Structure 1
Amino acid sequence: MALPSEGNQLINVVVLLGAAVVAVPLFKRLGLGSVLGYLAAGLVIGPFGIGLFSDPKSILHVAELGVVMFLFIIGLEMQPSRLWKLRGEIFGLGVAQVLACGGLLTVVGLLAGLSGPAAFMAAMGFVLSSTAIVMQILSERGDSTSAQGQRIVSILLLEDLAIVPLLALAALLAPAGNAEHGDPWIQSAIALGCILALLAAGRWLLNPLFRLLAAAHAREVMTAAALLVVLGAALLMEFGGLSMAMGAFLAGVLLSESTFRHQLEAEVEPFRGILLGLFFLGVGMSLDLSAVAREWPLILTAVVVFMLVKSVGVYAVARLLRASHAEALTRAALLAQGGEFAFVLYGAAAVAGIFDAHTAAILTAVVIISMALTPLCVLALRWLLPKPVLSMDDVDVAKDLDGCALIVGFGRFGQIVTQTMLARDLKVSILDIDTDAIRAAAKWGVKVYYGDGTRIDMLRTAGAENACAILICIDNPQAVNHMVKLIKSEFPLVRVVVRAYDRIHSLALAKEGVDYQVRETLESALVFGAAALRAIGVPADEASEVVEDVRRRDTDRFELEVAGGLFAGRSLLYGNMTSPPDGKNDKPDRETTEAAPNPLA
């Protein structure tokens, strides 16, 4: 039974939010991604699921603003200078992929019995990949700023730009008497006028406007102004017969060099997130299961053929332009689907009479299913991608080394430790397993050898037995514990100096009998605290005394804990870890500061 569409709209909102809150965390926990969670939730609550909503178009009409705001934020990150640097990828790689995939899919449409214009529109709609899905996946994988991710973003930008001429072509290809917009030349002039008006507003109006509003110190007015810019630009482009999303993107690009860019992004982001999720819910509701049931052989065949042909086109273009096999496969999996702009283009083509409503419904179902399958295609990459091959070019394996000190780990911590050794003209042997870091160190004149310090044979060949001291500088507590046990068992006379992760780890290392250990953030935090005291007006001598008192009391507590066996049970924590902390900057530091001394810090 459908929920009331009028009267108590609050019920509709609660159901939509509830479906998202339940489905998205579940699908992310299963590793399927948030987009597939939204689509599945929409399918369940929609008219072709349990029927809580009977009119998904009304949801999509509002939720399209999520796509609009999404492209505005993308535009904010695309400064003209950055776009110019990416011009080769956008107008070279992007155009090549759109033309190649469009041509291949048009042939598929012609072989399926569609007319020339219908086959072309069906193909080009599927060529336009889902910016929302791909960007979401790239963000979740942490690839959006990598070189590979930037090339994919460039392709998506070109595809988003392509919606403008494609919508114009939909009007030009309309059968006689079916053109909705009248004279295409007049419509083109109106569209050009709208673009020029938006460019003029961005150049001479928007920055002065935001400076004026910022001076008023009214947060809610800045939020309203940000929404006004996004929606106003979208409305202007819609008036010109163009894409609303294109207008928002242009507005974002125009403001990308503004000093208010980060403020605008912060104001729009909450609306973008919820509306984009609502968009995917609406898309899931729109999947007509009855039509799929009636035409399932045709729809499933079309999904497989379209995705396969497009993937082949994407892979071929990537390889022709000298991408690696792994990158080409990744790009093919991410871009194999149709996208949200296909709904816009198919709607325009149906209105123009290029194909009928039945064909438009089948094509829409094909696009929706392809969008739903994208996260699964990305998951399949782990079996399709070749195993990474470790390049040992310009890297020497540790063998017969005789350094006075053996340093294991040449990250940020190890590099500083190494400087103290070299400053005393001591001969050191340095091990690391990151071949890129080893090659980078060679450029600075530091010889680092490849070697895994958790292997006893590697420690022997690195000269551990004859070293005066072994300095363990890696940030993986579990690996550190294993290494300490090996060294104490095989080389009991060698001094062991260890980087500890936190207090619990320090206690565990003390139990193992290491000669010295220090928590990786202890001394830097004490120095930071002294500087903070001086910054707020505490005399330098007094600040130094306070910090020294904190250091002394910390040492006294630590010695009591070691002597008394306090936290002995907790010291086993890192021996049982399945995913040890990696010490990266984006991980929360487990050492905390409280009003009372924290025994775990």
Structure 2
Amino acid sequence: MSIQLSSLLLLLAAAVLTVVLCRRLKLPAMLGYLVVGLLIGPHSLGFITSSDEATHLAEFGVVFLMFTLGLEFNLARLNAMRRIVFGLGAMQVLTMVGVVMAICLIAGLDWKVGLALGGALSMSSTAMASKLLADRNELHAPHGQNAIGILLFQDLAVVPFLIMIPVLNFPGNELLMALGLAALKIIVVLLVLLYFGQKLMRPWFNMVAKQHSSELFMLNLLLVTLGIAWITELAGLSLALGAFLAGMLIAETDFRYQVEDDVRPFRDLLLGLFFVTVGMNLDYSVLLEQWWRVLLVLALLGPGKILLIAALSKLFGSTPGSSWRTGFTLGQGGEFAFVILALASKSQLLPDSLLQTTIAGIVLSMLITPFLIQHSDKIVLRLARSEWMNLAANLHQIAVRSMQSQGHVILCGYGRSGQSLARILSQENIGFFALDLDPDMVREASAAGDSVVYGDAAKREVLMAAGLMRASAIVVTYAETHSAMQILEVVHSIRPDLPVIIRTQDDSDIDQLKDAGATEVVAEIMEGSLMLASHTLMLLGVPLNKVVYRVREVREARYQLLRGFYRGVSEDAEDSDRPQPRLHTIYLSNEAAAIGKHMGELQLDKLHIEIRSVRRRNMRPIQPDASFELQAGDILVLLGESDNLAAAEMRLLQGN
């Protein structure tokens, strides 16, 4: 075997452990792969003495990366964002290339070296930037839209660099002829593949799909992707360019999303291996000798690139705060920088020492970016004076809109789930106030008369302006655990008694959210499975009352707050005049009379009050027994009728 099994096992073990650590620290997995390469490579601990064999395998990671990029190449999407993509994005790449070329010429280097380095340094990390924006719920914010538009153009700009770099080392007239020949080749290949490919791809995939074999579909996908990549390599172009064209062709078929799901495991695995080999190629001895070059590259990617992108964003009409945030989001190197550098090194365009220092600077910039973005809000407030005014104006608008609300529900997010909940609350004459970061949706909802404003619900000052001190509950309607944890932290530091209901996609984060103080967590997958089960049972002839009983049984077991609420299928809650039991939350302050007493001493059962749960800081909600001793800061959730709840609250707080 070219790669010894022991070395391969060591590489996999190190990758698993490091990526797990990165995920726990909420850092991109890409950084984990780079660190693995740095540690086990021939220039460090030396567990793997050569990276040549792994590099050949890792090249296929780049192939699949370019293939998925081709799948995302959507003309409609580009047209909708054309001003940002082809205006701001093009200016960023061209300006960065020009700046790097000028620095290289001043340093006495060839312009071809400057072009290759400029192309590499102009790239930002699509994977890292989009993940960090999603984690912060800022994809629809103005700076998020700017960043995505620039990243789209950067991804497209990789293609001409893949064509130009292999021929840049040709002398004089041969260079012009080589560039002309490369351009002619790409035109011919594009015409042949896109013209005949579009005619053949759809019927070919339809024929394969009709066989109803997942193995055959996957084999066909690999055949098409690698086959077109091989054709472009035979034409003197690159494998990566062929994979990009293959993705474009399949994107026009009905199988795009299925293909994207099928190819993701190959892409992620091989791309991870590619980043490992990048780290393995880093030579520490060169870095020690050329540390000043590393700092220069880091300065270009850090302050230099941030300033450039911020200035261009301002030029294209963004506010100072949005411009700075766009710069902080994209002020790092990217995965395609490594692709361009590897191609330039293979073409003997870059000396090894310059290659090593550039890779080191890019890796360091990527390591710094998550921490930089984490503190970007504070930095922007210092850099952009108008940001204080914009923030104050936005908070003032939120405060004015929410001023008349009392006992309302704060909805964090106003997507489909938030709007559905808002309609139900309105039918029950319960006021609500919604916060969302999608400006288009906020504008349309406000025009329709809904109580919705633009604001980040994870920020303390925004929640305060939305009437946190007057609210009766908070509902997080979007499935984003990181943001929900931030909201829980803010709420429990200001109003620990306020119920917080959170939506999640599945049940993987329920324990984490419960431990953080969520009153209830609703998992979409569970509710969907209950609806599937109820419809299935009814279609199979199971009586309706039995179906309702089964669903009720599961819900009561899953949702603690719903236990005991179901009194019978025939009851009509809307027409019943009898007082209905409701939930009530009571916070025990330091002066509460119940502190230090056991639940049995309070005799709340004589008031016809049921204790549903007790929440305590850093402890999951529990249903206490008679021996449970109450402490300051405890939050009790009681069930009963209004008069009885008032008597119970008086007994707990005043001792009467």
**TM, length-normalised to structure 1:** 0.73
- CA offset at residue 174 of structure 1? 3.3
Selected match of 2:294 from 299, 304, 307: 299
Selected match of 2:247 from 243, 252, 258: 252
- CA offset at residue 70 of structure 1? 2.2
> The residue matched to 1:434 in structure 2 has which SS?
strand
The yes-or-no answer on 1:162 pairing with 2:157 is: yes
- CA offset at residue 320 of structure 1? 0.7
Structure 2 match to 1:408: 409
Deviates more, 1:526-535 or 1:262-271: 526-535
CA pair 160-550 structure 1, distance change in 2 beyond 3 A: closer
CA pair 112-543 structure 1, distance change in 2 beyond 3 A: same
Query: What does the per-residue CA deviation read over 1:46-105, in whole Å, with 9 as the maximum and x for residues that have no partner?
Result: 011110112224323321222221232232233332233233332222211111112222
Deviates more, 1:142-151 or 1:161-170: 142-151
**AA of the residue aligned to 2:545:** S
In structure 2, what is the Cα distance between the partners aligned to 1:21 and 1:499? Answer: 35
Structure 2 match to 1:110: 105
CA pair 546-371 structure 1, distance change in 2 beyond 3 A: closer
Q: Give runs of aligned pairs for residues 230-269 of structure 1, distance below 5 A.
A: 230-269=225-264
CA pair 575-365 structure 1, distance change in 2 beyond 3 A: closer
- CA offset at residue 578 of structure 1? 9.5
Q: Give runs of aligned pairs for residues 383-532 of structure 1, distance below 5 A.
A: 383-386=378-381, 389=392, 390-393=394-397, 396=400, 406-409=407-410, 411-412=418-419, 415-421=422-428, 430-432=431-433, 434=435, 442-445=446-449, 455=469, 458=470, 474=475, 528=531, 532=535
Query: What does the per-residue CA deviation read over 1:415-444, in whole Å, with 9 as the maximum and x for residues that have no partner?
Result: 23443346xxxxx7x353638899766533
CA pair 248-183 structure 1, distance change in 2 beyond 3 A: closer
Structure 2 match to 1:337: 332
- CA offset at residue 161 of structure 1? 2.9
Query: What does the per-residue CA deviation read over 1:168-195, in whole Å, with 9 as the maximum and x for residues that have no partner?
Result: 5446653638969974433432232222
Residues 69 and 248 in structure 1, CA contact (< 8 A), matched pair in contact too: yes
Structure 2 match to 1:35: 30
Residues 533 and 543 in structure 1, CA contact (< 8 A), matched pair in contact too: no
Query: What does the per-residue CA deviation read over 1:442-485, in whole Å, with 9 as the maximum and x for residues that have no partner?
Result: 53345689976653xx47xxxxxxxxxxx757469996999796
> The residue matched to 1:392 in structure 2 has which SS?
helix
CA pair 284-380 structure 1, distance change in 2 beyond 3 A: farther
Query: What does the per-residue CA deviation read over 1:532-588, in whole Å, with 9 as the maximum and x for residues that have no partner?
Result: 15652326xx213542587599688679999699xx999224654699xxxxxxxxx
In structure 2, what is the Cα distance between the partners aligned to 1:576 and 1:359? Answer: 52
Structure 2 match to 1:322: 317
- CA offset at residue 210 of structure 1? 1.1
The yes-or-no answer on 1:572 pairing with 2:579 is: no
- Where does structure 1 lack aligned partners over 5 or more consecutive residues? 1-5, 423-427, 460-470, 487-497, 506-516, 580-601
Structure 2 match to 1:96: 91
Selected match of 1:274 from 261, 269, 273: 269
CA pair 37-501 structure 1, distance change in 2 beyond 3 A: closer
Share of identical aligned residues, percent?
Answer: 29
Query: What does the per-residue CA deviation read over 1:270-295, in whole Å, with 9 as the maximum and x for residues that have no partner?
Result: 11111111111111111111111122
- CA offset at residue 340 of structure 1? 4.0
The yes-or-no answer on 1:538 pairing with 2:545 is: no
Residues 70 and 276 in structure 1, CA contact (< 8 A), matched pair in contact too: yes
**AA of the residue aligned to 1:252:** G
> The residue matched to 1:571 in structure 2 has which SS?
strand
Residues 283 and 368 in structure 1, CA contact (< 8 A), matched pair in contact too: no
Residues 232 and 238 in structure 2, CA contact (< 8 A), matched pair in contact too: yes
CA pair 373-181 structure 1, distance change in 2 beyond 3 A: farther
- CA offset at residue 12 of structure 1? 2.5
Q: What is the RMSD computed on CA atoms of the aligned residues?
A: 4.6
In structure 1, what is the Cα distance between the partners aligned to 2:48 and 2:548? Answer: 63
CA pair 140-229 structure 1, distance change in 2 beyond 3 A: farther
In structure 2, what is the Cα distance between the partners aligned to 1:356 and 1:537? Answer: 73
The yes-or-no answer on 1:25 pairing with 2:26 is: no
CA pair 164-440 structure 1, distance change in 2 beyond 3 A: closer
In structure 2, what is the Cα distance between the partners aligned to 1:351 and 1:370? Answer: 24
Residues 397 and 451 in structure 1, CA contact (< 8 A), matched pair in contact too: no
**AA of the residue aligned to 1:571:** S
The yes-or-no answer on 1:381 pairing with 2:376 is: yes
CA pair 537-54 structure 1, distance change in 2 beyond 3 A: same
The yes-or-no answer on 1:125 pairing with 2:167 is: no
Selected match of 2:195 from 188, 191, 200: 200
In structure 2, what is the Cα distance between the partners aligned to 1:57 and 1:519? Answer: 50
Query: What does the per-residue CA deviation read over 1:138-164, in whole Å, with 9 as the maximum and x for residues that have no partner?
Result: 555565676644543332332233234
Selected match of 2:10 from 1, 5, 15: 15
**AA of the residue aligned to 1:434:** L
Residues 402 and 466 in structure 2, CA contact (< 8 A), matched pair in contact too: no
CA pair 10-325 structure 1, distance change in 2 beyond 3 A: farther
- CA offset at residue 45 of structure 1? 0.5
Residues 398 and 466 in structure 2, CA contact (< 8 A), matched pair in contact too: no
CA pair 382-242 structure 1, distance change in 2 beyond 3 A: farther
CA pair 518-362 structure 1, distance change in 2 beyond 3 A: closer
In structure 2, what is the Cα distance between the partners aligned to 1:236 and 1:157? Answer: 26
Structure 1 match to 2:595: none
CA pair 170-573 structure 1, distance change in 2 beyond 3 A: same
Q: Give runs of aligned pairs for residues 24-63 of structure 1, distance below 5 A.
A: 24-63=19-58
Deviates more, 1:144-153 or 1:208-217: 144-153
Query: What does the per-residue CA deviation read over 1:579-601, in whole Å, with 9 as the maximum and x for residues that have no partner?
Result: 9xxxxxxxxxxxxxxxxxxxxxx
Structure 2 match to 1:223: 218
Residues 63 and 239 in structure 2, CA contact (< 8 A), matched pair in contact too: yes
> The residue matched to 1:323 in structure 2 has which SS?
coil
The yes-or-no answer on 1:80 pairing with 2:75 is: yes
The total of aligned residue pairs comes to 524
In structure 2, what is the Cα distance between the partners aligned to 1:264 and 1:101? Answer: 35
**AA of the residue aligned to 1:415:** A
Deviates more, 1:337-346 or 1:527-536: 527-536
Structure 2 match to 1:586: none
CA pair 550-68 structure 1, distance change in 2 beyond 3 A: closer
Residues 180 and 351 in structure 1, CA contact (< 8 A), matched pair in contact too: no
> The residue matched to 1:432 in structure 2 has which SS?
strand
Residues 142 and 322 in structure 2, CA contact (< 8 A), matched pair in contact too: no
Considering Cα pairs closer than 8 Å and 6+ residues apart, tell me whether 1 or 2 has the greater RCO: 1
- CA offset at residue 214 of structure 1? 1.0
Structure 2 match to 1:174: 169
Query: What does the per-residue CA deviation read over 1:5-53, in whole Å, with 9 as the maximum and x for residues that have no partner?
Result: x466322321121111111121232343322211111100001111011
